[in-house]
């Protein structure tokens, strides 16, 4: 795992965006796995800015989102479909027909999930999967106890997740109890996983994921088994890591040719 600790969410998101842009430059038809929630909002704003400046072209990319609530349609204000249109898709040149999000109103949910998996395979698999992390360690909506080999399927959300996400719903409006989510096995097949986490509320989940045992009780810990996982943190989310000094040192000492992974851009303005 590569653990990159930045001063604040803005610098971390900028760096992550440069990394995504470098992946797209290297492979213009890249397949991106996308996440929703508060965490990737700044990343998407940075990607939109890179597009405006001519530094990122999404015209040949395709995207697959991690998850969607069951029981709400694509135009519901809290749907992830709407989130993606508002926060990213309408600001860049990805073709709408190349963006896929599970359908929260699918009649045949198992059939829909199987078709989603097939579509990912038919697209050549996911090149880079963006991830957030829940305070309970979930990735996508794979709640604790999810099979580490799971595929896209229906999941029941924990009370904690529903409480955390109530802020995206209208006052008094119930958060759906179920979601369709890519599985942990699906996520692990992405060629690269990029997880972002910001703020003190994520510090324990981040420490468990990076330095704790690999366990279905803490789904994000499976990234320890991923051959290419990059974790972007701010100082607060990194606050409970035992080896944060080492992670900072690794990044500061990165040889120039490795920094090229980030598009050859001089980006490390966060030097301490």
Distance CA 18, CA 9 (A): 14
Structure tokens at 140: 């996508």
Structure tokens at 154: 């229906």
Compare residues 38 and 45 and give the one whose CB is closer to ligand PGA: 38
Shortest Å, Cβ 18 to ligand PGA = 20
Structure tokens at 135: 């305070």
Of the candidates 126, 137, 135, 146, the one whose C-alpha atom is nearest the C-alpha of residue 62 is: 126
Distance CA 270, CA 272 (A): 6
Shortest Å, Cβ 41 to ligand PGA = 8
Cα 226 → chain centroid? 14
List the one residue from 1, 38, 45, 154 that touches ligand PGA (CB under 6 A).
38
Q: Give the HSE-up count for residue 74: Cα atoms under 13 Å, Cβ half-sphere.
A: 11
Q: Interface with ligand PGA by CB under 6 A: which range of 11-19, 90-98, 130-138, 179-187?
A: 130-138
Number of C-beta neighbours around residue 239 at 10 A: 17
235 labelled catalytic: no
Burial of 113-142, coded b for 16+ CB within 10 Å and e otherwise, reads bebbbeebeebeebbbbbbbbbbbbbbbbb
Residue whose CB is nearest to ligand PGA in the complex, by number: 37
143 labelled catalytic: yes
Assess 37 for contact with ligand PGA (CB under 6 A): yes
75 labelled catalytic: no
138 labelled catalytic: yes
Q: Indicate which residue of 46, 68, 127, 138 is catalytic.
A: 138
Q: Indicate which residue of 46, 67, 164, 234 is catalytic.
A: 67
Shortest Å, Cβ 48 to ligand PGA = 18
Distance CA 99, CA 92 (A): 12
Compare residues 138 and 153 and give the one whose CB is closer to ligand PGA: 138
Applying the rule CB under 6 A, the residues between 134 and 153 that interact with ligand PGA are 134
Q: How many residues bind ligand PGA (CB under 6 A)?
A: 6
Binding mask 186-215 for ligand PGA (x = CB under 6 A): ------------------------------
Distance CA 198, CA 47 (A): 18
**Residues recognised as catalytic:** 67, 136, 138, 143
* Residues binding ligand PGA (CB under 6 A): 37-39, 132-134
């Amino acid at each position: 795992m590569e653990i990159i600790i930045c001063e604040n969410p803005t610098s971390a998101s900028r760096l992550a965006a440069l990394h995504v842009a470098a992946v797209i430059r290297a492979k213009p038809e890249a397949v991106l796995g996308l996440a929703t929630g508060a965490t990737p909002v700044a990343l998407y704003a940075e990607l939109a800015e890179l597009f405006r400046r001519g530094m990122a072209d999404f015209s040949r990319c395709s995207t697959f989102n991690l998850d969607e609530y069951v029981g709400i349609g694509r135009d519901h204000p809290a749907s992830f479909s709407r989130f993606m249109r508002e926060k990213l898709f309408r600001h860049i040149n990805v073709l709408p027909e190349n963006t896929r999000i599970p359908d929260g109103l699918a009649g045949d949910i198992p059939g829909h999930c199987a078709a989603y998996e097939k579509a990912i395979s038919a697209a050549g698999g996911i090149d880079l999967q963006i991830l957030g992390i829940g305070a309970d360690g979930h990735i996508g909506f794979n709640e604790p106890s999810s099979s580490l080999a799971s595929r896209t399927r229906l999941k029941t959300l924990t009370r904690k997740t529903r409480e955390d996400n109530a802020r995206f719903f209208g006052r008094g409006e119930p958060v759906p109890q179920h979601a369709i989510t890519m599985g942990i096995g699906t996520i692990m097949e992405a060629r690269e996983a990029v997880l972002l986490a910001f703020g003190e509320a994520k510090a324990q989940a981040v420490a468990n994921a990076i330095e704790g045992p690999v366990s279905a009780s803490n789904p994000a810990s499976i990234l320890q088994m991923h051959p290419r996982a990059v974790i972007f943190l701010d100082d607060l989310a990194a606050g409970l890591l035992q080896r944060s000094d080492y992670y900072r040192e690794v990044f500061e000492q990165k040889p120039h040719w490795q920094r090229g992974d980030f598009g050859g851009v001089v980006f490390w303005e966060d030097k301490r």
